[in-house]
Structure 1
Amino acid sequence: MTNTARARYRFAQWTLRAITTMAVRHFGLCLSCDERSTDTTDPDTAQLWCLKHAGLTGHTGYELSAFQHFNATMTDSPAGPTRRSSRPL
């Protein structure tokens, strides 16, 4: 007989909070060749890259994306649930 370790799992509540020192970033992506602009805080710069790339290549499909950086934080107690008494009330 072998000893097997048993894992104990519990569900935890988490929340996301934007990193306020990091601005929302934007970039343009060419859907024809997958070339993309550098990411920037200015959405107009990303759009301008798409237009310039279209003029140089004739490519017509683009995606403009924005992203934000977040931290995940556990919102409930890291200690496991409290053990209930086995005796009746």
Structure 2
Amino acid sequence: MSTGNGITRGRYRFAEWTLTAMPTVAVRHFGTCLTCGERSADTADADDAQVWCLKHAGLTHHSGYELAAFQNFNADMTDAGEAPHAT
């Protein structure tokens, strides 16, 4: 709703949300070289990412690596009330 002077006013409702891990998607791992930024393919097996780091070290003599893991989630509104909206 515009008040005519360029300012828009609205009313918002806060909602409760929850995160749930996607059951069909495994935790993924990847290694990153801290010297050159090259990165392994992401894999479900942490050992594969570590082996990539060791092979990269053998080829390049780079010594700093980061091993990371990530997981995908669904966000679902837990409040069954009306969806948030502006008026």
Q: What's the secondary structure of 1:35's corresponding residue?
A: coil
- How far apart in 2 are the matches of 1:66 and 1:2? 50
Q: What's the secondary structure of 2:32's corresponding residue?
A: strand
1:41-56 matches, cutoff 5 A: 41-56=44-59
- In the alignment, what sits opposite 1:9? 12
Confirm or deny that 1:27 pairs with 2:30. Answer: yes
Percent same amino acid among aligned pairs? 66
RMSD between superposed Cα atoms in Å: 1.7
Q: Which of 38, 63, 67 is matched with 1:64 structurally?
A: 67
- How far apart in 2 are the matches of 1:53 and 1:25? 19
* Structure with larger RCO (C-alpha < 8 A, sep 6+): 2
Q: How many residues align?
A: 80
Unaligned runs of 5+ in 1: 81-89
1:79 Cα offset (Å): 1.4
- Displaced runs of 4 or more, over 6 A: none
TM-score by length of 1: 0.82
- How far apart in 1 are the matches of 2:81 and 2:9? 20
TM-score by length of 2: 0.84
Unaligned runs of 5+ in 2: none
